[in-house]
Amino acid sequence: MLKLILVLTMYCGLTAALAVEPTARQQEVAEKGAMVMPFDIHNSIHVFQKLPDGGLQQLLAKDAKDQGLISMIRRHLSMEAGRFAKGDYSDPMKIHGMDMPGVRYLSGVKPGQISIVYRELPDGAEIHYTGKDQTTVGALHRWFDAQLSDHGADATGKQP
């Protein structure tokens, strides 16, 4: 019994040591995100899945029963999709900075160079980006990588 307790104690200590604390940058992004997103960023998961022709951005409530949060996520992402379609990436720049990888290029794309399609999901919403050329796709991928890094534990590159 003593061995079992010792093993469990070591396992719990190792598990705690492996838990990753947010970096200063990720904490800064979460604070700035509160100025742009009308909900607690930690109550949602951000998905930035790179695809061969662009990418899929999803914003999902961690609690699929929280209809208030889901409504706020949908309203926010719908407005962002409308802004992005006009080349307005000012909200991500407010959160991640003016030099965010990919965003300067995306802000200047010509009509028809990128398709931006918004869709509601049961637990949130998504934007599907399709670049018409490899330069645009590359900018989307750099933009997604920056967001994955900056959002830390609140983001993933794969659908949950």
- 11 is a domain residue: no
Structure-token match 């604390």, residue found: 21
Domain that holds residue 82: 23-156
pLDDT exceeds 70 at position 149: yes
d(CA 37, CA 46): 12
pLDDT given for residue 117 in this prediction: 97
The separation between CA 96 and the C-alpha centre of its own chain, rounded to angstroms, equals 11
* pLDDT tens-digit series, residues 45-72: 899 999 999 999 999 999 999 999 999 9
Tell me the two tokens of residue 126: 């998504």
Report whether 153 contacts 22 (CB < 8 A): yes
Residue 134 in domain: yes
pLDDT of residue 142: 94
Q: What are the E-state strand segments in 52-148?
A: 54-61, 114-121, 124-131
Domain count, the chain: 1
Residue with tokens 């609690």: 63
Residue 95 lies in a domain: yes
Assess if residue 92 is contained within a domain.
yes
Query: Residue 8 domain-assigned?
Result: no
b vs e for 43-77, b when ≥16 Cβ sit within 10 Å of the residue's Cβ?
ebbbbbbbeeebbbbbbbbeeeebeebbebbbebb
pLDDT band (50, 70, 90) for residue 124: very high
- Asked, for residue 138, whether it belongs to a domain, the answer is yes
Query: Of the spans 15-24, 109-118, 149-158, which averages the highest pLDDT?
Result: 109-118
Closest CA to 81 of 62, 56, 52: 56
| pTM for the structure as a whole | 0.76
Q: Which residues contact 89 (CB under 8 A, 6 or more apart)?
A: 83, 103, 106, 107
The token pair at 73 is 């996520």
pLDDT at residue number 95:
65
Task: Kindly state whether residue 4 falls inside one of the protein's structural domains.
Answer: no
- The answer as to whether 139 is a domain residue is yes
* Residue 140 CB neighbour total at 10 angstroms: 26
